[in-house]
Amino acid sequence: MKRIIIIVIIFALAVGISGFWYYRKNIYSKEILKLEILGPEYVQTGEEIEYLARYKNNGNIVLENAEFIFDYPSNSIPSDSQDLRLTQKVEDIYPGEEKSFKFKTRLFGKENDNLTASCSLNYQPKGLKARYESKTTFTSRIKFVPLTFEFDLPLKTESGQELQFSLNYFSNINYPLENLRVKIEYPDTFEFKDSSPKALEKTEWEVSSLIQAGGGRIKISGKIQGEPGQQKIFRAKLGLYKEGNYIVLKEAAQAVQIVEPAIYISQIVNNLSNYIANIGDLLHYEIFFKNIGKTPIEKQFLIVKLEGDFFERNSLKLESGEAAPGDNSIIFDWKDISKLKFLDAGEEGKVEFWIKVKEKDFDKIKNPVLKNTIRLGGSEKQFETKINSKLIFSQKGYFKEDFFGNSGPLPPEAGKTTTYTIVWQVENSFNELSNLKVKAILPENVTATGKVFPEDARFTFDPQSREVMWNLGDLGAFEQKTLAFQIGLTPSENQKGKVALLIKKAEIIAQDTFTQDILKTEEVELSTILPDDVSITKQEGIVK
C-alpha cells in the first residue's frame, strides 16, 4: 500500500512538472510586438496628410497568420480609397522584422476638433493556438480652417423693423468641397421672410461645389421683435455631409441689439401703400418720416437708394433733392427741406419724386421688383414694389395658311360658305400666370368648324352664346403659345357689297401668380379684309 502511494505521488509530481514546463513554453506577451502610428499632431482642414503605421517583432518567435487593420478618422476622405477601414493579410513576421505602411487622407472638421486614426495587428505565435491582438491610436488636432464664414449683420436695429443681412463664405482650401450645407439658428423672436438663394427649410441652404478662392453669399430678410437693450444672437454653421453625417467646418455668431426707435418711415406709390406696377408706368413716390422719439431731430439727410434693372433712370423728376451721379441714389438735404432741418417730437415730414418703369431693354428676369432703401438718421427701411407680367396677345385672320387649307369662294358670296383661320398667340414675360383664358364672340352667320391646332388644345364653342374660348390654364414665365381654329362664314344677302365681320374683339384674362393681380388685354375684331393675310386684296374681302 505504501508503495502505491509513493508511485501516485511521483506520477503527480511528473505531471505537474510537465504542465509547468508546457505553460512556460507557451507563455507569450503581446507587448513583444511594437505597433505605432506616426503623423502630424496639428493639421489644417482639407490639407492632405500622411500616416505611417509600423510594427516590429521584438521577440524570438515567428508570428503567423497575421492580419493588419487600419481605420482612418471618421471625418476624413482617404486619397487612395473609398473605405475608412483597410484590412490587409501580412506574411509571417520573423523575430526582429519591421515593416511600415503609408496612408494618405484629408481631415475635415472645425478648429480644435480631435480626429483619431487607429490600427491593429492580430496574429498567432508559432507553436501556439491562441491569437493575440495589438492596438494603437494617433490623434491629430485641427488648428486652422482656411475658410471665411461670417455674418454681414447690422449691430443695431429697431423692434419690428425689416432686417436684411447676409452670410458670406469663402474657401482657401486646396481641395473642392462637395455636399456643403449652411445651417442657421435664429433668435426665437425672428420671423423669416425670404432668402436668396431659396432656403430648403428656412434655416438650411445647399451650397454648390466650393473650390479654392471660391465663395458666395446667402441673403436673408425677416423681422425681429424685442425690447430696447436686448441682444439677439444669430448663429450659423458651414459644413458638409459625408455618409449621412454632418461635419461642421466653421461656425459664426453675431449679436444684434434692439434699440429705441426715433423715426418712423413710411411710403406710398401712386397713392397706394401696396401698389403693383406695370411696364411703362410713371411712379409717384411719397416718403413720410415721423419723429416718434421724445427729442427734436435736427439737420439730417434723407437718402433714397434705387435698386433694380427696371427703373428708367433718365426719367427721374425731383422738386427738391439731388440725384447722386453714378450711385442710383437721391439725396434730400436739410438745407433745402425744413422738416429735415428741424423735426420736433410728434411731427411728420415728406419728400417725393417721380420715375418711370422701363418699357424695354430689360433682361429676362423672373418675378421683378423695384426696390428702394430709405436712410434717415440711424433708421433704415427698404420697400419693394412688384411688377406685373407683361402679357402680349394677338388675334389674326387668314384665308391662305398651312394649318387646315381653307375653301369656298373668294371674295365670299352670299349664301355660300367660305372658311377662314383665326390665329391666337399669347406671349408671357416675367411672372408665371394661372387661370389664363381667351374669349371672343362669333357673329350669327359665322360658326366654328371643329378644326383646331394643336388638336389637344382646350378649345370650346357654345352655339347659344356664340362664344369661343381657349382655356390655357397655366403659362410659365417667358413662355408663349399659339392656337389656330377654323371658322365658316356664310354671308347674308344684305351683306353684299360690304365687308363681313368674322370675329368680334377677343379678350384675354389671367392671374399673375407673383403679384396676384388680374391681367386683362383685348384685341380688335377681324373682318374679311384680313389685314394680316398679305395674299388677299382688299377687293377680295367684299361680299359678292
pLDDT digits 0-9 by tens, 29-64: 657 899 999 999 999 999 999 999 999 999 899 999
Determine the pLDDT at residue 80. 86
Q: Tell whether the model's pLDDT for residue 191 goes beyond 90.
A: yes
Q: Check if the beta carbon of residue 357 is closer than 8 Å to that of residue 309.
A: no
Determine the pLDDT at residue 235. 97
Please say whether the structural domain 392-541 has been given the CATH code 2.60.40.740.
yes
Determine the pLDDT at residue 6. 54
Determine the pLDDT at residue 19. 40
Determine the pLDDT at residue 15. 40
pLDDT, tens digit, 9 for 90 and up, residues 120-136: 999 999 988 899 999 99
Determine the pLDDT at residue 515. 95
Place 8 in a pLDDT band, splitting at 50, 70 and 90.
very low
Mean pLDDT of 356-364: 83
**Range ranked top by mean pLDDT from 23-27, 175-179, 293-297:** 175-179
Place 112 in a pLDDT band, splitting at 50, 70 and 90.
very high
Task: Kindly state the percentage of the chain with pLDDT values over 90.
Answer: 77
Same topology, domains 147-259 and 392-541? Answer is yes
Mean pLDDT of 381-387: 93
Please say whether the structural domain 263-386 has been given the CATH code 3.30.200.20.
no
Determine the pLDDT at residue 161. 78
Determine the pLDDT at residue 133. 92
Mean pLDDT of 108-118: 95
Cell readout for 416 is 355660300
Q: Check if the beta carbon of residue 115 is closer than 8 Å to that of residue 140.
A: yes
Determine the Cα–Cα distance for residues 302 and 330; give it in Å rounded to an integer: 8
* Residue ranges per structural domain of the chain: 30-144, 147-259, 263-386, 392-541
Mean pLDDT of 177-183: 94
Q: Tell whether the model's pLDDT for residue 10 goes beyond 70.
A: no
- Residues with Cβ within 8 Å of 23's Cβ and at least 6 positions away in sequence, in order, are none
Determine the pLDDT at residue 157. 86
Q: Tell whether the model's pLDDT for residue 159 goes beyond 80.
A: yes
pLDDT, tens digit, 9 for 90 and up, residues 495-532: 999 999 999 999 999 999 999 999 999 999 999 999 99
Mean pLDDT of 415-423: 95
Determine the pLDDT at residue 21. 37
Q: Check if the beta carbon of residue 315 is closer than 8 Å to that of residue 370.
A: no
- Residues with Cβ within 8 Å of 507's Cβ and at least 6 positions away in sequence, in order, are 438, 439, 440, 520, 521, 522
Q: Tell whether the model's pLDDT for residue 89 goes beyond 60.
A: yes
Flag the least confident range among 7-16, 213-222, 314-323: 7-16
Determine the pLDDT at residue 208. 85
pLDDT, tens digit, 9 for 90 and up, residues 226-266: 988 899 999 999 999 988 899 999 999 999 999 877 888 99
Determine the pLDDT at residue 518. 96
Please say whether the structural domain 147-259 has been given the CATH code 3.90.1640.10.
no
Mean pLDDT of 460-472: 94
- Residues with Cβ within 8 Å of 95's Cβ and at least 6 positions away in sequence, in order, are 57, 59, 60, 61, 62
Place 198 in a pLDDT band, splitting at 50, 70 and 90.
very high
Determine the Cα–Cα distance for residues 391 and 425; give it in Å rounded to an integer: 11
Determine the pLDDT at residue 3. 56
Please say whether the structural domain 30-144 has been given the CATH code 2.60.40.10.
yes
Cell readout for 444 is 350669327
**Average of per-residue pLDDT values in the chain:** 90
Determine the pLDDT at residue 182. 96
Determine the pLDDT at residue 24. 39
Determine the pLDDT at residue 326. 74
Determine the Cα–Cα distance for residues 31 and 178; give it in Å rounded to an integer: 43
